[in-house]
Amino acid sequence: MNISVSKSMPQLCLYATLAGFITSTAAAQDLGLQAAQLALTAEESGQNAGGLYLDYAITEHHNFALNFDLFETDVGTIGAVRAGLSLSPAADRRYGLFAYLADMNNESSRWGGVGLQGRRQIAGLGIGGFGGIALRDSTMAARPLGDADVLFAGGELRLDLGEAWQAFAKVNLADFDELQLSTTLVWGEVGVLWQDPPDRYALVASYGFEEFSNHRLYDTTRIRLGVDIKLGRGGSTRALPFADPFLPVVARGF
C-alpha cells in the first residue's frame, strides 16, 4: 500500500497550528472546554483530511460541540463546520441536535443539514446513531446533481478490546431522489484504534467502501491511516457519530 501525500498537507499543517492556538486560548480563558481533539487522516488514493473537535460544558448535563473539517478531494478542497447541542443525563449516554454547513473552495456550491445524533455505552460496547436531512445549493450547470435534498442516517459500534485497543464498525445510508440523479448510497468502515497509555493520542487504521445503486457513480474502497491528538487540558470525549451524505457524491464531480 502506498499512502501518498498531496498538496493539501501544508494546509493541514496550518490547520494543526490554528487548532493548537484555539484550544490553548480557550483553556486559558476557562470557557468550559471539556475536550479538544485534532484528527489527521491520509488515504491510499492521496486524499487527506483534517478535523478539529471542541466540546464545551454549558451545564452539568448539557454540552455545546463544534467540529471544523477540511477534505482534499480530486475536484477541490471542501471545508465544513458542524455545531451540536447535547444532553448527557448519565455518564454512559449522550444525545442531541446538530446542524452543519459545507462549501467547496473553487466553485459556488454549498450544502448543509440538520438532524439528531446520540451514543450509549453498555459495558465495553458503544452504540451510536444519527439521522437527518440535507440540502444542496449549486449554481454549477456542469454538476449533474445540481440542487438536491437527501435523507440520511447511520450507526456505529465501538468495542473495547483492552486498555489500549478498540475495534469499530460504521454503516451509513443516504437516499437521493432527484430528476438529475436518483441513487441510494451505502458506505461503511471497519477498523481498529490504538490509544497510548497517557491518553494523548490515538492511531487509527480502517478499511471502507462506498456503493451506489446508480451506476453513473462508481463504487470504491478505501484504506485510511490516521492519528487523533488530544489538545490542551480537555478530556478525551469522542464526538457524536456523523457522516456528510453529500461528500462522496461531490467528490465524484456530481
Model confidence pLDDT, tens digit, residues 94-129: 999 999 999 988 777 889 999 999 999 998 899 999
Phi-psi region at 146: left, alpha or beta (left = phi > 0; alpha = psi -120 to 50): left
Domain range enclosing 28: 9-250
Per the domain annotation, does 154 fall within a domain?
Answer: yes
Per the domain annotation, does 41 fall within a domain?
Answer: yes
Phi-psi region at 10: left, alpha or beta (left = phi > 0; alpha = psi -120 to 50): alpha
Per the domain annotation, does 1 fall within a domain?
Answer: no
Point out the least confidently predicted range of 78-87, 115-124, 140-149, 165-174: 140-149
Q: Which residues pair with 41 in a beta bridge?
A: 49, 226
pLDDT at 95: 96
Per the domain annotation, does 183 fall within a domain?
Answer: yes
Per the domain annotation, does 111 fall within a domain?
Answer: yes
- What cell does 87 get? 444532553
> CATH no. for residue 187?
2.40.160.40
Query: If pLDDT is split at 50, 70 and 90, which confidence band does 143 have?
Result: low
User: What end-to-end distance do the CA atoms of the chain give, in Å?
Assistant: 28
- What cell does 45 get? 488514493
Nearest to 249 by CA among 171, 168, 150, 106: 150
Nearest to 143 by CA among 104, 198, 188: 104
Query: If pLDDT is split at 50, 70 and 90, which confidence band does 50 have?
Result: very high
Q: How far apart are CA 197 and CA 200, in angstroms?
A: 8
Check pLDDT > 70 for residue 32: yes
Greatest mean pLDDT among 21-35, 105-119, 123-137, 138-152 lies in 123-137
Per the domain annotation, does 173 fall within a domain?
Answer: yes
Query: If pLDDT is split at 50, 70 and 90, which confidence band does 181 have?
Result: confident
Per the domain annotation, does 2 fall within a domain?
Answer: no
Handedness of CA 42, 236, 243, 253 (dihedral sign): negative
Q: How far apart are CA 78 and CA 57, in angstroms?
A: 29
DSSP strand pairing (33-43 vs 48-57): antiparallel
Check pLDDT > 80 for residue 142: no
C-beta of residue 81 within 8 angstroms of C-beta of residue 98: no
pLDDT at 137: 81
Please count the structural domains in the chain: 1
> pLDDT per residue over 66-82, tens digit each?
999 999 988 889 999 99
Per the domain annotation, does 4 fall within a domain?
Answer: no
